[in-house]
Amino acid sequence: MRIVALVPGKIGDQILFFPTLDDLKRVYPDAQIDVVVEPSAKAAYRVCKSVTDTIAFDFDDRNSLADWGNLIGLLRDREYNIAISPKRQFLPHLLLWLTGIPTRVGYQGKGSFFLTAAVTQKFQQSPVARYHDLLQGVGINSPVPELSINVPASDITWLEKEQKSLGINESGYVAVYDCQSSTYPIDSWRQIVQSLQEKQPSLPVIAIKDADNETFVRGMLAFFPDLKVMFPTDAGKLAATIAAANLLVCTDSAPMYLALALQIYTVALLEQETLLESDRLIKVKAPTGKIADITPQTIMQRIWGQE
């Protein structure tokens, strides 16, 4: 049995698709399950326990007919039995038909006549549940599995060495993260970190650094020269970093989704409402739709359990 899923989107979108892949693996334990994903999202599958191989394809690029032809040829050569696509567009559905894959599942919509099974997309559900509904197209009607990830042992070892080098003991820490595209002011972050340090002086605060948020980390170090910084270089190390945290304070980003899967208490700064739910996720929505308008006082009230 060979199964392929075409999953566009960022790392967060991939993580939300994991329960669907996990249920496929449960039903077809000996199956080879591959995914076609954006090149920037391949990193997510370091912490996925159900996928055999990842195929990089830039869905949003201006792909030529040759690019699409190469992908179709690759999928045909691998002789998949089942293909699943959560993208409600004409072209991906046509692509699946051209591959000759016998069972083709997607959402009802443009081009769904190219599919062998079209599932109604229920927008009132969480993204995890909407993705999982696609399995109805192959006769799987089980409850949605818990969102979970697999942190490689080598990445846990890396974290232990990092903690030792930074002088962080086993009591844990508070992690803060902002993505490059966010516009949450550094001064507001300063007030949040200062409050954390004042109320929990024995609990270190660390800033999570990646290849794209240099401005955030540099701004934090300007206020707190002794602030501890961790630089996980892949999804596994990032997951290990988050797994060891007592609390994560972050914007809508890959760390938020990893924290959901790891069941880490998270305060998330959001520009708009999300259907994601967890008893460990505290959502702080911008009143104006602009994240910069969330006051530090509002966030600190939510951190300390005050409405």
User: Rounded distance, CA 246 to CA 13, Å?
Assistant: 24
Domain positions in the chain:
2-138, 153-303
Find residue 169's DSSP bridge partners.
none
The beta strand positions in 112-152, using DSSP E, are: 117-119
Query: Phi and psi dihedrals of 280, rounded to 5?
Result: -115, 10
Contact 31, 25 (CB under 8 A): yes
For residues 276-292, average pLDDT: 90
**Long-range contacts made by residues 83-86, C-beta under 8 angstroms, separation at least 24?**
83/3, 83/4, 83/5, 83/6, 84/3, 84/4, 84/5, 84/6, 84/20, 84/134, 84/135, 84/137, 84/138, 85/5, 85/6, 86/5, 86/6, 86/7, 86/8, 86/17, 86/130, 86/131, 86/134
Kindly report the CA angle at 281 between 234 and 46, in degrees rounded to 5? 20
Sole residue written with tokens 């070892």: 157
Residue 64 confidence (pLDDT) above 80: no
With cut-offs at 50, 70 and 90, classify the pLDDT of residue 89. confident
Sole residue written with tokens 């700064």: 269
Q: Residue 165 is encoded by which pair of tokens? A: 């080098």
Question: How many other β-carbons are positioned within 10 Å of the β-carbon of residue 49?
Answer: 12
Instruction: Note the pLDDT tens digit of each residue in 93-126.
Output: 888 999 999 999 999 988 889 999 999 999 889 9
Could you tell me which of 196, 180, 183, 305 has the C-alpha nearest to residue 245? 196
Domain 153-303 sits in which CATH superfamily? Glycogen Phosphorylase B; (3.40.50.2000)
Contact 139, 13 (CB under 8 A): no
Instruction: Note the pLDDT tens digit of each residue in 65-76.
Output: 788 889 999 999
End-to-end CA distance of the chain: 52
The CATH number corresponding to 2-138 among 3.40.50.2000, 3.20.20.140, 3.50.50.60, 3.40.50.2300 equals 3.40.50.2000
For residues 184-190, average pLDDT: 94
Q: What is the pLDDT of residue 306?
A: 54
Residue 221 confidence (pLDDT) above 70: yes
DSSP 75-93: HHHTT-SEEEE---SHHHH
Q: Which residues fall within 8 angstroms of residue 27, CB to CB, at 6 or more apart?
A: 140
Sole residue written with tokens 């930074």: 166
Q: What is the pLDDT of residue 61?
A: 66
The reply to whether domains 2-138 and 153-303 share a CATH topology is yes
SS (H, E, C) 187-240: HHHHHHHHHHHHHCCCCCEEEECCCCCHHHHHHHHHHCCCCEEECCCCHHHHHH
Which residue did the predictor score with more confidence, 29 or 304? 29
Residue 92 confidence (pLDDT) above 90: no
Sole residue written with tokens 């060891």: 244
